Copies of this chain bind each other. A is one copy, B any other.
Amino acid sequence: MAAEQDPEGRAAARPLLTDLYQATMALGYWRAGRAQEAAEFELFFRRCPFGGAFALAAGLRDCVRFLRAFRLRDADVQFLASVLPPDTEPAFFEHLRALDCSGVTVPLLQVSGPLLVVQLLETPLLCLVSYASLIATNAARLRLIAGPEKRLLEMGLRRAQGPDGGLTASTYSYLGGFDGSSNVLAGQLRGVPVAGTLAHSFVTSFSGAEVPPDPMLAPAAGQGPRVDLAACVEVWLERVCAHLGLGAQEPHPGERAAFVAYALAFPRAFQGLLDTYSVRRSGLPNFLAVALALEELGYQAVGVRLDSGDLLQQAQEVRGVFRRAAAQFQVPWLASVPIAVSNNIDEEELARLAQKGSEVDLIGIGTSVVTCPRQPSLGCVYKLVAVGGQPRMKLTEDPEKQTLPGSKAAFRLLGADGSLLLDVLQLAEEPPPQAGQELRLWPRGARESCTVRPAHVEPLLRLWVQQGQLCEPLPSLAESRAFAQLSLSRLSPAHRRLEQPEQYQVALSEKLQALVNRLRALGPQ
């Protein structure tokens, strides 16, 4: 938690990170004498992303942090004054200067408080929740495809939308089920486990002609004389090449020098990147020579990585070589050195790499987790549902864009076996559904009502912020990650499957449906 207090970790979510129309509307509300009127907005999306039937909602911590720090500084107010009409009253800017979110209450995704300020919150809250939820959901899909055993590493920082996009991606792909990230800042600021070894540039930077300042390495146990690792590797190279049927001149000396340098820096965590020159004729024999030289000193290599070509086929071949070398040189652990792969892995390739019998252990994914190419945006919206205690509804001619009016509560109904039946939206003033009691409901999109008798009822909304104060401690990132995995495990397979899933049902209470019907009838008049 200490790391999260790093002030720069609060990134760029500031009151002016907003669309200008929020500021022009603020002036409109203020001149209309309505700035302080009680209002309620809901943040939601209309369709689950990627053609699936579930989504993980994420971003709460960033939202809460933003709300609690919400304050327009003098420079912010001055900038707004420069883009609003020159005759805007100074009193309006005084009002902005005094704004904070102490009047704002946030159960997850419902925001209520003074009209002017809850309107101003629209864009930054959408910005904080929408991508976080999208990438958490994307990561969850990739985890479902990979299965629970494969290790998944997010390494998309360089493919993200700038620095903070990368930080968001690393944080929320971990929440969605990845095991860690390459992004050091995500480790420092958010506590995401970080991992990484070496790039091709490290390998190509060595020609083999370099003289290490100190090629001597002490045994792992700390006892015994130091050994010249580079010389020892050359001895092992002969044996490995003979075993593999290669000439000892074939493996690239620069690659080997790079491996030796890396092994000297990380004797307890030696890994090889095999594909800079040729996996079979260079990367693999060089790796084995270094790994076996380290083994003599009591160190175990911890992995190899493949970054081009047919990853699955190469992994199977590499595993075969490891098994045979383990037998040949009587080094059992060599048979199970973890194999990592990377290189533009998408959902289809991931499914292939995760198939039964695959020898791949760790999968690094960049572009396709970070950019969510199947659907690069979630389409969250933030809609006014009540103002001055009266329900509000957007009644556009496009039925997709109509909203559900009124201040609401939400519940999840479960069967006797703990299976999820459906979620219910109802007016906040209605009593909650009772376990064991029959309810009449209107499923969204259906023309007729239905009845349900839930065995269990769970409230879905939690009050997080009231009068500027946190109501309960926020979960840690690791707790949120565990909660997300638990929630996914409770979904039925029909809802959880990634292609053509059964849609999860959301239903309205009779009172909420009646309110919708009444406002629709009043309609555009």
Contact = CB atoms under 8 A, between A and B. Distances in A.
B201 A164 contact: no
A496 B81 CA distance: 41
A155 interface: yes
A415 to B, nearest CB: 37
**Residue of A155, A277, A372 contacting most chain B CB atoms (<10 Å):** A277
Interface string A451-478: 0000000000000000000000000000
A165 interface: yes
Interface in A64-91: 75-76, 79-80, 83, 85
Interface in A89-108: none
Given A198-B28, A201-B122, A202-B25, A79 B184 contact: yes
A201 B6 contact: no
A432 interface: no
Interface string A367-395: 10011110011011011100100101111
Interface residues of A, number: 130
B308 A398 contact: yes
Contacts of A18: 157, 183-185
Contacts of A12: 8, 11-12, 162-164, 167, 185
A329 interface: no
A19 B364 CA distance: 12
A249 interface: yes
A279 interface: yes
A144 to B, nearest CB: 21
Given A21-B199, A160-B161, 16 more contacts: A11-B162, A20-B194, A21-B196, A24-B262, A32-B212, A32-B264, A62-B162, A79-B188, A83-B184, A115-B205, A119-B201, A161-B161, A161-B370, A200-B383, A278-B397, A282-B524
